[in-house]
Amino acid sequence: MNPIKSVTDFVGIILNRKVTKNAVVTYRGHGSTDFRLTPSIFRKTATCKNEHILLRELIAAHPEDFDRDTSALEMLVRMQHFSLPTRLLDVTMNPLVALYFACEKVKQIIPVLGEKSRRNMDGHVVVLSVPKQRVRYFDSDTVSCITNLARLSWNYKNEIDTNLDLEKFNNSTSIKRLLHFIRQEKNGFLGEINPADLDSIILVKPKQNNKRILAQAGAFFAFGLKDEIGSRSGDRIRVNHIVIPADAKRNILNELDKLGINEKTMFPDIERAARYITGTLSSSNAATKLLRRPAE
């Protein structure tokens, strides 16, 4: 595959990919090819062990922000929005959005002749083909089972044994505790959980009631007891990578900006809009043009 130097190069690769009828294709952009498909909660042992505490602490500190949330998924989506580590991995249905994030500048420190030097890293767009049986909507029972794992303590999660037969599995203390949380959001939930569901990684189509989700054509992978999408995880999700060279990132970002994909549109809040506008005016002759524009 030839190096990606422009949006045109990238779109050509996307359009030439074979369409699989039995799969849903999603995308994720990484500023470095070293980044893995792991949710933020699993990246550090301390956050992983204290997942249930992080969740409760944020709700306790800002209860008004969670008043309208009726499920664990909705709470986790909001926490993800506020940069709290969660078991969700955000992806997009729009490859150009993923390309934007793949062009993030990431530097790596490398030793050169006994001294430390920094180099810009290549990025990549990860193309994930998800079997349709692995796709669920926001109100799915499977999604409730997986996302409510976030409310279990570390000890309870460690006690879960998905190799037990169905009856023993559902009679275990940790699963009874999990059922308690699930029934808080779904009163009519049956007292039975499929062990395979907790071992799975599911692509979730969320409610489009969040400005950022709308702007980024967002969806989420909800992770059960597995911590990474990869060839050895047995999740049947096909993963391919499109490398974005470090020296092409700036040009691609400029092209995406002309297509209306930039910091202001990807993050539709006033702080990001202000930063984008300031950066645009200070990095080009846009300010001069603006000042010369006749008053209306």
- Domain ranges, residue 145: 7-163+197-259
Do the domain assignments include residue 69? yes
Do the domain assignments include residue 183? no
Segment among 18-22, 83-87, 98-102 with least mean pLDDT:
18-22
Do the domain assignments include residue 223? yes
Do the domain assignments include residue 265? no
Q: What is the mean pLDDT of the chain?
A: 90
Residues forming a β-bridge with 222:
88, 202
DSSP string of 198-235? HT-EEEEE--S-SHHHHHTTEEEEEESS----STTS--
Do the domain assignments include residue 176? no
Please list the alpha-helical segments (H only) found in the chain: 7-15, 45-49, 51-61, 72-81, 95-102, 141-147, 154-159, 166-171, 173-185, 195-198, 211-215, 249-258, 263-266, 270-282, 286-292
Find out whether 128 and 239 touch, Cβ atoms under 8 Å.
yes
pLDDT attached to residue 27:
98
The total domain count for the chain is: 1
pLDDT attached to residue 110:
66
Is the overall model pTM greater than 0.75, yes or no?
A: yes
pLDDT digits (tens, 9 = 90+) for 115-145: 676 789 999 999 999 999 999 999 999 999 9
Backbone angles phi, psi at 283, to 5 degrees: -105, 5
pLDDT digits (tens, 9 = 90+) for 157-184: 999 999 999 999 999 999 999 999 999 9
254 has a pLDDT exceeding 60: yes
36 has a pLDDT exceeding 70: yes
Do the domain assignments include residue 287? no
Tell me the C-alpha distance between 57 and 288, whole Å. 48
235 has a pLDDT exceeding 90: no
Do the domain assignments include residue 275? no
pLDDT attached to residue 289:
43
Do the domain assignments include residue 288? no
